[in-house]
Structure 1
Amino acid sequence: MAASKKVKSLTKAEAQAIFDRFHQMDPEPTGELDYINAYTLLVAVVLSAQATDVGVNKATKRLFELAPDPASMVALGQERIEELVKTIGLFRTKAKNVYALSQMLIDLHGGEVPDDRDSLEALPGVGRKTANVVLNIYFKQPTIAVDTHLFRVGNRTGMAIGKTPLAVEQKLEKMVPAEYMLHAHHWLILHGRYICKARTPECWRCIIAEWCHYEPKSPLPRGK
């Protein structure tokens, strides 16, 4: 595959067309992590760092049956949490963070998950991306969580060219039409996960290829 050329930034009209198409094809996109409430969503997102959603869902099924709230999670104890999530990468560190953030939610927030970024980011294991996911999915705030998929799509398409996740996030906030801000996060992540893949983007079946500035587009593989 030929090396791609330097990508030029999309125009706002092109970004509008892209999100019009996303909305047309999937009006109500959803995340792929399983959760019961705001707390279990927070825990699931913390556990999902450098792990697949499928792998996290397998581990959290039993974990959330036993501990659907901070108090029951603290009662489990860190070692038991480790046992339940040991199939996930970095499980010891993640179990430590889950235990600690659960205790902090009890101590500082009455066992409830706060709905502001600063309070969320003050919790162990919670960074800007995790906070944005929780704020977007559970609290319906128009935040954009930049993971590796979204970072790739933003840069590759020309929609949000930036060297850091924060730079991409800030550019997307300017490029995404206001009426699509709530769902932009999901559309872009799912697009990166299943179509605009890291090694070879599947341009031949991309629904936004006509506006994407990535070149050369990947051709349909032989035999397909």
Structure 2
Amino acid sequence: MAMTGLRAIVLAVLLGSSPAAQAQEQEPSQGAGSAKSPGSLAEASGFFKAPPIDGCTITLEELVKGKSSALRGRWTLRKGPGEMGLVSAGRVEMLPVPQRSGEILSLDFRNGRLMAGSPVLGFMPVAVEDRAPPAPGSGLRAESAGRGDLPDDAEVFLDEIALGPLACGPDQLLRLNIAGAQDSGTGHVLRQDYRLFLVDQSRLSGTYSETGAAGRFERGLVTLERR
């Protein structure tokens, strides 16, 4: 029995089963709350947070000359409410479209210019505009936007329901316009247009419009979020 116990102790030492060795082996399996340095570009992108941006106060010059780098990354689109039009026999029938989320749009730089990457249309240039009162007709009718709290003829320019209370209105936010088109190969041109307002480094919101095959078009509110 004594020899068996001695062999067990020697075997344990050879296998490195000391408390210190056990702690080192368990460290990689600790929860996400443990602090560690990023080991890859993918980890680094989530480890280092984008610098804060206040859409109500940032100037166009500040954004163009450096802070636009804070917008790089993958954004999740939350679409809706909105409406879809179908052209049939020379008539346009408007139908509501459900709210949906999950589409991804990426923002990055190509040849020094901020570009949006779409799974459907590829890379599209991002045009940045200074703050100004939105042009009449560039928004969505309150009825189409599901804003029963507003007069039907009022225009809605961003999804304040999804965003929550904002420190300023759309006339005080910088804008990012994204537009792209591609031949579908069926004789129809696919188009996407986004008119977005810069709320902060993790939220963009505005309106979108899409045209597709067979005279179908869609428009609505859209909010881009990044966590």
Superposition TM-score, scaled by structure 1 size: 0.25
Q: Which has more radius of gyration?
A: 2
- Identify the structure with the greater helix proportion: 1
Higher relative contact order (CA 8 A, sep 6+): 1
Superposition TM-score, scaled by structure 2 size: 0.25
- Identify the structure with the greater strand proportion: 2
